[in-house]
Amino acid sequence: MDAVLSLTRSRPGAGRLVPLLLIAAALGFLLLFLLLPLAAVFVEALRKGLGTYTAALVHPEAIAAIKLTLLVAAIAVPLNTVFGVAAAWAMTRFAFRGKALLGALIDLPFSVSPVVSGLIYVLLFGAQGWFGPWLLEHDIKLIFAVPGLVLATIFVTLPFVARELIPLMQSQGSDEEEAARVLGAGGWQIFFRVTLPNIKWALLYGVLLCNARAMGEFGAVSVVSGHIRGLTNTLPLHVEILYNDYNYAGAFAVASLLAFLALITLGLKTFLEWRYGSELAAKAPRGH
Amino acid sequence: MTITINRLARRFADFRALDDVSLSIAPGEFVALLGPSGSGKTTLLRILAGLDFPDSGDLLQDGRDLLQVSARDRGVGLVFQHYALFRHMTVFENVAFGLRVRPRARRPSKAEIAERVDKLLKRVQLDGMAARYPAQLSGGQRQRVALARALAIEPSLLLLDEPFGALDAQVRVALRRWLRHLHEEMGLTTVFVTHDQEEALELADRVVVMNRGRIEQVGTPDEIYQQPATPFVFEFIGKSNKVPVRIHGARLQAGDQRFEADALEGLADGSAVAYVRPEHLALSTTPLENGWKATLRHVYLSGSVAHLELDVPGLGQTLEAELGGEEAQRRSLQAGMTVTVQPRHLTVFPLDGKTGEPDLARRRVVHPRYGQAALARWR
């Protein structure tokens, strides 16, 4: 009897070791590859003192990069929000030919390397590109200019909102919207009074992720930017330039801004997941 | 307000959801659309609501073409199977929705809306629940909120999709009686969809039995149960025994027995199929000349009714009979007994010579003639 008891007692002990090892491995990994670099950013940024740090941030080129990053995000994020809602609405509320194709297209930016995305725009709108001569004739400059940056950013961040909304709207079904219609509501009334309240937290979540990517995007933007200082450099590009100029403190100072952005995004994201988790998940309770 | 449904057809890819459906619904009528899943009943309901449109056919309301009127302007009250309450709105807001979204000119004032919602919530016995959210209500309560919401726009037609499908058995019975009372009070033309025959037969003034996109039979619950028009209705509603028979010289040959009846006059010889309800099989424990010899396999007493399983060698099949539980006990019917079985009421569908399908046009209701002795001894 004693032997049996001790056996059953030792089991949970042995079983506790494996999870502990796994947790330690995961934490160690996170520490090494995420927290350490993050800490390094701030340590390096402040290595030459607070004065150098602030000087790097208020440098005219840095200010221009911040403004440009905000401008690009301010155009790309609202556009992709509208597109994401429209695409999710179309994908979940209507049956039409080419629906699977639309779904694949929405996912395309996720599966294509950002550099390739940027190159596509250069090939289309660059001086040697398909529409290059026509654009040149009409004196429209897309590539190596702000419009190109916006285009590339829109392309890269296109899936975030739609991908967040589609599973949720699929699981919610269209019953409530049909009920609203039969009760006499018009299209906009249905959207603002029924659809939007049901998807608002998922929408906010998608917008948040979309914004983080729009501000942090490097690859696609790098190809179309042309790196004209003070004109076509976004924050991530500015970091690279400073770094290549051996201005490590400056590079890390600007990088710390992006790190802050990441931390704020992470905080908001965690808050949304904690507070409205059930409304974000695809298997949101249907209320019956 | 008469609704005329004329030759409606609706296809989904290769599936015929509705196939030449015609029906007329009188003002104030309570109509049940009854059928198995895929029979087209929900499609018909959605077309009535304006949420779906037929490929062909007409839908008229007092001569007005309803198909030209959008769901938004139709003024139809619809209660969804899963209620489709607005989950982010309180009960009050749910019920007020239909009034709030009206164009300004037709929108009642805030006070009027509040008054009407209060009245409706009282009517559906939910006063005091106005501030709750749908997730905080029981199934039966949600159902009544959905009903109040549909009634708020003062519809000319009320449509209910499987209104009791998602409820417990007990709540279901209580709620459907209540709904019937409400209908009698308000006199609102009501159409509801169900796959539950008990529900349809108990609630409706008229039952429309549907199968594979077609209407099989329209009639009062009594007509549907007592005089099924098609083999499908026989098999779908209530219980019945299906017996292959032959018609031969105005007589019915069923296994080793031959039955005579007036109704068989004029029917050509040939194969046919006969349906007999369990309660239309009479049993005699003393051997009779006329009737199938059978062995009583099982007696299932379920409350007030006794279900009897009869093995009939002359037919090569098992028949189910039914009689009152008390009577079964009084006559001390037990498994293993030998009995004579006499069908008292059969419905016969001669089979089409070419297709082998039951010919609905030549349907006959047959009451076989038995000798005086048989009648005397029966029971």
Q: Do B80 and A185 touch (CB under 8 A)?
A: no
- Calpha distance B361→B379 (Å, rounded): 35
Closest approach of B136 to chain A, Cα-based (Å): 8
Boundary-marking domain end, from B233, B266, B289: B233
B107 CB near a chain A CB, below 8 Å?
no
pLDDT of B379 > 90? The answer is: no
Smallest Cβ–Cβ distance between A180 and the set B49, B97, B134 belongs to: B97
- Calpha distance B184→B26 (Å, rounded): 15
How confident is residue A281, by pLDDT bands cut at 50, 70 and 90?
A: low
Backbone angles phi, psi at B25, to 5 degrees: -115, 120
Q: Do A185 and B101 touch (CB under 8 A)?
A: yes
Residues B312, B214, single domain; the answer is no
- Calpha distance B190→B142 (Å, rounded): 19
How confident is residue B154, by pLDDT bands cut at 50, 70 and 90?
A: very high
| Longest distance between any two alpha carbons in chain A, whole Å | 94
Residues B220, B251, single domain; the answer is no
Range of the domain at B36: 3-233
Provide, as residue numbers in chain A, all residues whose Cβ is less than 8 Å from the Cβ of B101. 180, 183-186, 189, 193
> Beta strands B317-324 and B305-312: pairing type?
antiparallel
What is the interface pTM, i.e. ipTM, of the complex?
A: 0.85
Residues B276, B218, single domain; the answer is no
Residues B14, B151, single domain; the answer is yes
Q: Do B149 and A197 touch (CB under 8 A)?
A: no
User: DSSP class of residue B351?
Assistant: B
Mean predicted confidence (pLDDT) in A248-265: 89
Q: Residues in chain A, how many?
A: 288
Domain harbouring B290, CATH code: 2.40.50.100
> Residue B100: its pLDDT value, please?
95
Residue of B nearest to A285 (CA): B135
Q: Do A288 and B49 touch (CB under 8 A)?
A: no
> Residue A132: its pLDDT value, please?
83
CB A227 within 8 A of CB A64: no
Long-range contacts of A66-69 (CB under 8 A, 24+ apart): A66/A235, A66/A257, A68/A146, A68/A149, A68/A232, A68/A233, A68/A234, A69/A215, A69/A234, A69/A235
Structure tokens at B11: 């296809």
Q: Do A178 and B51 touch (CB under 8 A)?
A: yes
> Residue A287: its pLDDT value, please?
36
How confident is residue B163, by pLDDT bands cut at 50, 70 and 90?
A: confident
> Residue B175: its pLDDT value, please?
86
> Residue B35: its pLDDT value, please?
94
Its pTM stands at 0.81
A94 CB near a chain B CB, below 8 Å?
no
pLDDT of B176 > 90? The answer is: no
Residues B283, B171, single domain; the answer is no
Closest approach of B236 to chain A, Cα-based (Å): 30
Provide, as residue numbers in chain B, all residues whose Cβ is less than 8 Å from the Cβ of A184. 72-73, 75, 98, 101-102, 153
Cα dihedral sign, B220-B224-B227-B232: positive
Residue of A nearest to B74 (CA): A182
Residues B213, B243, single domain; the answer is no
Residues 6+ apart with CB under 8 A from A135: A125, A141, A142
A67 CB near a chain B CB, below 8 Å?
no
- Calpha distance B259→B341 (Å, rounded): 12
A24 CB near a chain B CB, below 8 Å?
no
Task: Choose the weakest-confidence range: A1-10, A89-98, B301-310.
Answer: A1-10
Best CA proximity match to A161, nearest among A115, A225, A218, A214: A214
- Calpha distance A272→A216 (Å, rounded): 21
> Residue A6: its pLDDT value, please?
47
CB A183 within 8 A of CB A134: no
Residues B225, B246, single domain; the answer is no
> Which region, left, alpha or beta, applies to residue B332 given φ > 0 means left and ψ of -120 to 50 means alpha?
left
Residue A243, judged by CB atoms within 10 A of its CB (0-12, 13-18, 19+), counts as: middle
> Residue A279: its pLDDT value, please?
67
Containing B307, the helix (H) or strand (E) segment is strand B305-312
For chain B positions 131-190, those within 8 Å of chain A (CB to CB) are 133-135, 139, 142, 149-150, 152-153, 166
A186 CB near a chain B CB, below 8 Å?
yes
Containing B338, the helix (H) or strand (E) segment is strand B338-343
- Calpha distance A67→A63 (Å, rounded): 6
- Calpha distance A19→A13 (Å, rounded): 11
Residues B251, B225, single domain; the answer is no
Provide, as residue numbers in chain B, all residues whose Cβ is less than 8 Å from the Cβ of A197. 86, 88
Instruction: Convert the pLDDT of each residue in B212-233 to its tens digit.
Output: 999 999 999 999 999 999 999 9
Q: Do B149 and A175 touch (CB under 8 A)?
A: no
Boundary-marking domain end, from B233, B257, B290: B233
What number of CA atoms fall less than 13 Å from residue A85's CA on the CB side? Answer: 19
Inter-axis angle of helices A235-244 and A60-93, nearest 10: 140
> Residue A278: its pLDDT value, please?
66
Smallest Cβ–Cβ distance between A288 and the set B51, B98, B166 belongs to: B166
Residues 6+ apart with CB under 8 A from B178: none
Mean predicted confidence (pLDDT) in B41-48: 95
Task: Choose the weakest-confidence range: A6-20, A266-280, B123-137.
Answer: A6-20
Containing B320, the helix (H) or strand (E) segment is strand B317-324
Instruction: Convert the pLDDT of each residue in B264-286 to its tens digit.
Output: 888 889 999 999 999 999 998 88
B49 CB near a chain A CB, below 8 Å?
yes
How confident is residue A12, by pLDDT bands cut at 50, 70 and 90?
A: low
Residues B192, B337, single domain; the answer is no
Provide, as residue numbers in chain B, all residues whose Cβ is less than 8 Å from the Cβ of A287. 85, 87, 133-135, 142
Instruction: Convert the pLDDT of each residue in A102-150 to its tens digit.
Output: 999 999 998 889 899 888 888 888 888 888 888 888 888 888 888 999 9
Residues B303, B365, single domain; the answer is yes
How confident is residue B13, by pLDDT bands cut at 50, 70 and 90?
A: confident
> Residue A2: its pLDDT value, please?
46
Backbone angles phi, psi at B273, to 5 degrees: -125, 135
How confident is residue A1, by pLDDT bands cut at 50, 70 and 90?
A: very low
Domain count, chain B: 2
Residues B220, B331, single domain; the answer is no
Provide, as residue numbers in chain A, all residues whose Cβ is less than 8 Å from the Cβ of B149. 179, 183
Boundary-marking domain end, from B174, B208, B233: B233
How confident is residue A286, by pLDDT bands cut at 50, 70 and 90?
A: very low
pLDDT of A20 > 60? The answer is: yes
Closest approach of A110 to chain B, Cα-based (Å): 33
Q: Which amino acid is located at A249 in the chain?
A: A
Structure tokens at B40: 């087209």
> Residue B263: its pLDDT value, please?
87
Best CA proximity match to B33, nearest among B228, B237, B209, B168: B209
Domain harbouring B11, CATH code: 3.40.50.300
> Residue A13: its pLDDT value, please?
53
Residues B136, B264, single domain; the answer is no
> Beta strands B30-34 and B270-276: pairing type?
unpaired
Best CA proximity match to B87, nearest among A205, A171, A207, A84: A171
